[in-house]
Amino acid sequence: MNAVIIDGPVGVGKTSLMDILIEEFGYKPFLEPVTDNPLLDKFYYNRKRYSFPLQIFFLNRRFAILKEAAKIDGSVMDRSIYGDVIFAKMLCEGGDMEKEEYALYKELLANMLEHVQPPKLMIYLETSVDCEIKKIKKRGRDYEQIVEREYWEKLNNEYQEYFGYYNVSPLLKINTDNIDFVNNEEDRKYIINLIKEKLKEIDKLSYNQELVAAE
């Protein structure tokens, strides 16, 4: 699948980077299903009640997005079905999702992954908890402001662990703590060049593998 996926903790800049890649590469965007999500706001006020239906909502929408993206030559999305399991695992370990619900979630995820191709590139935007919270406060979503620091710390740790073992597709990890690719032109060029070089590396490897297979 010729798709680039951008993942990372809440508020790290996934959508902003997606907008840059749309402009730079002409990719078709697939947005995270947040604005039309009837459960997200309720979840932040009552996690135990809404954790499982929220995760199923995301799982279903992101599965549909991946299937649609597979039909297009060049797409980009912020978050996907792959990193979504981070939230489900954390909710289960924190007691907000029943173990039976988490088991069902993983079973559904495994079945879905059998029917989608991995992305061409996964970009993981890494950040510290302090920088993450600063960005969350700046964008000012009411339901995010009530979340305790411990939740963001746990989420950040889960992201680091998940992408420490991620091997589904090529991975590009970028630490965003000291760069501002939205407002700083040099930082913008830096991150675009990183992505271009990684994509060239992937294309070269794919070409060599095709040559070997043809021999």
State the pLDDT at residue 28. Answer: 93
| Cβ atoms of 131 and 176 closer than 8 Å | yes
For the chain, the structural domain boundaries read 3-214
- Tell me the CATH architecture of domain 3-214: 3-Layer(aba) Sandwich (3.40)
Alpha-carbon distance 28 to 20, whole Å?
A: 12
The DSSP string of 29-71 is EE--TTTT-SSHHHHHH-HHHHHHHHHHHHHHHHHHHHHHHTT
Average pLDDT, the chain: 89
Condensed to tens digits (0 to 9), the pLDDT of residues 54-78 reads: 999 889 988 998 988 888 889 999 8
Any idea which residues carry the catalytic annotation? 78
Condensed to tens digits (0 to 9), the pLDDT of residues 105-134 reads: 999 999 999 998 899 999 999 999 888 888
Q: Which pTM was predicted?
A: 0.88
Determine the average pLDDT of the residues in 15-34.
Answer: 88
Alpha-carbon distance 198 to 19, whole Å?
A: 19
Reading the block at residue 199, the tokens are: 């994509």
